[in-house]
Structures are given as structure tokens and as C-alpha cells.
């Protein structure tokens, strides 16, 4: 592994990967199994329908990971993370923030809004705050608010993606940022993880690849569509959430919409479609452009092993081509 791991997280992962929080997809089991496999697992707090359910999830994650650490002291168990919507339109803003105070997730990922109140709380218990950003304006603002990491959401990412090429985004951010940097967008293989590191990222942010895991909340139909799709089966539109995101065209057609004739969110009358109660994310599914390389549904443990093998192969290949590079291929077991 290229030695870019931040001191705060040194020795806590077997691959520089965060299983990204995905709305209605990331489950507590996915988080637990990711951490047990040695990568950072995360989930959006709003995936839990109520505060009581959320509290149960957080307790379960903590208990399961602690149990694993005690029973298998030699296993690398990675930290867990939650995704918090920092905008005040979040109806559970205060309640979810209280649970962050109580259960102290090691990493809190903020989306939208001002991360500063979250930073003040999380830093009190020595946790880390990462802010996801899709442009340079938001990256600079987040950096000024004292976050520990920036997640650069580049073009081609699943969900609400940015439009900046990762090479350009990384280079521009490194001009003013020296903290933890996470790269998001089209990362689906071990080779992609290595490429993210070469660009200067400390971690790769992988979402779409983890939809096709047994532990995710994604339906078998969603996973099947994911496997059968390529990057050409995606559309980047603001028709469903008001903010541009990448969606699977087959799921749009299944809902009775013509992807070539999409209108603004407010103009769509779902009552007249094949699915009268169709909703974005629930029935109209998202994916990133890395979908082309996803060919099967695996367990999280199997997927991480596959990514490790691909990473080693890519690193060995790079070293053989550039024999003067100082490469250590023994860091990842």
C-alpha cells in the first residue's frame, strides 16, 4: 500500500477504502461486515426510519465490533462512520446530533449545510469529521470550518455527483488543503483504489460497488439491474430530487417515464405512471459510472478480498514497469 494513511487512522484498515453511505441501501450489517473486513463502513443516519431504530443500530454496531475485537484480537477491525445531513431542513437534525454525542461514531461524514456545529461536537470526543463536497467553493468553505477530511465527489459518481474530473479536482484542492482527502466517483476495483492513491487521495470512497453485496438493503431486482447495466445506462438529471444525480435508465423506464423527455421534479405526476407511488432512490435507482465492471453479487468479506487481490496485482504491475519506484507490497496481509 502507498503509505498515505493519516496518523489518526494508521493501522486501522487493510485497504484505504470507505464503503460510502448510500440512502436506503447501506445497512447496519453492511457497516459491521465492512469494518470486520478491514475497511471503513458507513451509513446515512436517515436510513433508520425513527430515532429509536437508529439508536438500536448504533448500539448494535458498537457491540458487534467490540465483540469481534475481543474474540479476534489479531483481526484488523476498521472504524465505523455515519452520514449526517447538516442542513437545518433535516427534520431530525437535533435528535440525530444528540445520538452522535451519545454513541460517538469515530467518523462523521457531513452532507449539505454547515459542518461547524458537528465539528465542535465530534472533536470533543476526538472523532473525525469528513465533509463531502462537489465543487471548489464548497471545498474551501468546509476547509475553513475545521473539518478533518474532504470527500471530493467527482463526475460519474453515484447519487448526487459533481461534474469535475478527479484529476482536476484533486490538483485544485491540494493547492489549499493539507488534511485527509477522500476521492469519490467511478471507483469499483482494486486498480481504481491504487489510482486514487496515486492521484493523492488518502482513501477511496466506494458506493456503487457495495450495492451488489448480500448485506446491503438493495433489492435483488436492483442488484440484477446493476449487474446488467453499463455506464451508458445512466442519466445525469435533476428531475427526481431537484439536484443532479446519476440514475439507472432502466429503472426510469420501469416507472413509466421516458428518460429522453424528463421534466423538472415538480412537473412529474407519478400517479399517472406504471408505479403510482414511485419515488427517487426507492424505485428509481442510482448508480455510478463504475457500474460497468460489476458482474456479481458478493458478500462484503468476499468483495474486500477481491479488492485486495486486484490492488496487489495492480501494484505489482506498476512496480515491475517502474522498477525504480519504492513499492512495499507487504503492508496489506
Span 32-85, pLDDT tens digits: 999 999 999 999 999 999 999 999 999 999 999 999 999 999 999 999 999 999
Is residue 260 packed enough to be buried (19+ CB in 10 Å), middle (13-18) or exposed (0-12)? Answer: exposed
- Does the residue 270 lie in any domain? no
Is residue 211 domain-resident? yes
Of the candidates 15, 30, 11, which has an alpha carbon nearest to the alpha carbon of residue 310?
A: 15
Examine residue 260 and state whether it is found in any structural domain, yes or no.
Answer: no
49: containing domain: 9-217+300-321
Instruction: Name the band, by pLDDT with cuts 50, 70 and 90, for residue 86.
Output: very high
Q: Give the rounded distance of the alpha carbon of 272 from its chain centre.
A: 34
Q: Residue 78 domain-assigned?
A: yes
Confirm whether 225 is domain-assigned.
no
Task: Work out the percent of the chain whose per-residue pLDDT is above 90.
Answer: 80
Q: pTM of this prediction?
A: 0.91
Asked whether residue 285 is domain-assigned, the answer is no
Is the pLDDT assigned to residue 132 strictly greater than 60? yes
C-alpha cell at 249: 435508465
The pLDDT value recorded for residue 66 is 98
Q: For residue 276, name the pLDDT band (cuts at 50, 70, 90).
A: very low
Is residue 3 over pLDDT 80?
no
Which positions ≥6 away from 123 have C-beta within 8 Å?
Answer: 129, 146
Grade residue 5 by pLDDT with cuts at 50, 70 and 90: low
Number of folded domains in the chain? Answer: 1
Spatial separation of the C-alpha atoms in residues 139 and 135, rounded to whole Å: 6
Q: What is the pLDDT of residues 154-180, one digit of tens each?
A: 999 998 899 999 999 999 999 999 999
pLDDT of residue 329 exceeding 80: no
Question: What value does the mean pLDDT take over residues 272-285?
Answer: 63
At 1, is the pLDDT very low, low, confident or very high (cuts 50, 70, 90)?
very low
Averaged pLDDT, 181-209: 97
Establish if 144 belongs to a structural domain: yes
> Parallel, antiparallel, or unpaired: how do β-strands 245-248 and 234-237 relate?
antiparallel
pLDDT band at 283 (very low <50, low <70, confident <90, very high): confident
Q: What is the CATH number of the domain that holds 211?
A: 3.20.20.70
Tell me what the pLDDT averaged over the chain comes to: 91
Q: Say which residues have a Cβ less than 8 Å from residue 233's Cβ, sequence separation at least 6.
A: 248, 249, 250, 291
Half-sphere exposure of 180 (CA within 13 A, CB side): 25
Q: Name the burial class of residue 89, with classes exposed (0-12), middle (13-18) and buried (19+) by CB atoms within 10 angstroms of its CB.
A: exposed
The pLDDT, as a whole number, for residue 331 is: 45
Q: Is residue 268 part of a domain?
A: no
**Per-residue model confidence (pLDDT) at position 280:** 67
- % of the chain at pLDDT higher than 70: 89
Amino acid at each position: 500500500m502507498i503509505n498515505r494513511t493519516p496518523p489518526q487512522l494508521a493501522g486501522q484498515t487493510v485497504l484505504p477504502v470507505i464503503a460510502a453511505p448510500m440512502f436506503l441501501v447501506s445497512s447496519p450489517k453492511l457497516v459491521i461486515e465492512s469494518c470486520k473486513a478491514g475497511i471503513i463502513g458507513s451509513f446515512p443516519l436517515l436510513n433508520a426510519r425513527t430515532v429509536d431504530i437508529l439508536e438500536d443500530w448504533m448500539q448494535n454496531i458498537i457491540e458487534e465490533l467490540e465483540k469481534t475485537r475481543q474474540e479476534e484480537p489479531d483481526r484488523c477491525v476498521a472504524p465505523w462512520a455515519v452520514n449526517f445531513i447538516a442542513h437545518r431542513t433535516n427534520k431530525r437534525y437535533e435528535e440525530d446530533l444528540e445520538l452522535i454525542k451519545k454513541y460517538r461514531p469515530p467518523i462523521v461524514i457531513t452532507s449539505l449545510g454547515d459542518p461547524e456545529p458537528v465539528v465542535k461536537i465530534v472533536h470533543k470526543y476526538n472523532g473525525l469529521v469528513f465533509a463531502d463536497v462537489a465543487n471548489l467553493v464548497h471545498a474551501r468553505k468546509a476547509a475553513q470550518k475545521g473539518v478533518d477530511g474532504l470527500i471530493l465527489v467527482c463526475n460519474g459518481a453515484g447519487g448526487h455527483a459533481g461534474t469535475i474530473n478527479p484529476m482536476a479536482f484533486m490538483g485544485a484542492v491540494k493547492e489549499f488543503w493539507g488534511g485527509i482527502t477522500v476521492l469519490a466517483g467511478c471507483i469499483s476495483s482494486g486498480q481504481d483504489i491504487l489510482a486514487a492513491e496515486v492521484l493523492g487521495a488518502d482513501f477511496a470512497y466506494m458506493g456503487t460497488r457495495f450495492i451488489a453485496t448480500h448485506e446491503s438493503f438493495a433489492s435483488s431486482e436492483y442488484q440484477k439491474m446493476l449487474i446488467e447495466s453499463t455506464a451508458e445506462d445512466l442519466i445525469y438529471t435533476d428531475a427526481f430530487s431537484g439536484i443532479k444525480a446519476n440514475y439507472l435508465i432502466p429503472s426510469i423506464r420501469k416507472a413509466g417515464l421516458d428518460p429522453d423527455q424528463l421534466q423538472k421534479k415538480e412537473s412529474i405526476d407519478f400517479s399517472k405512471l406504471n408505479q403510482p407511488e414511485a419515488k427517487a432512490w426507492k424505485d428509481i435507482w442510482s448508480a455510478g459510472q463504475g457500474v460497468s465492471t460489476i458482474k456479481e453479487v458478493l458478500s462484503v468479506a468476499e468483495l474486500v478480498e477481491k479488492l485486495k487481490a486486484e490492488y496487489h496485482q495492480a501494484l505489482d504491475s506498476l512496480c515491475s514497469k517502474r522498477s525504480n519506484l519504492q513499492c512495499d507490497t507487504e503492508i496489506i496481509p
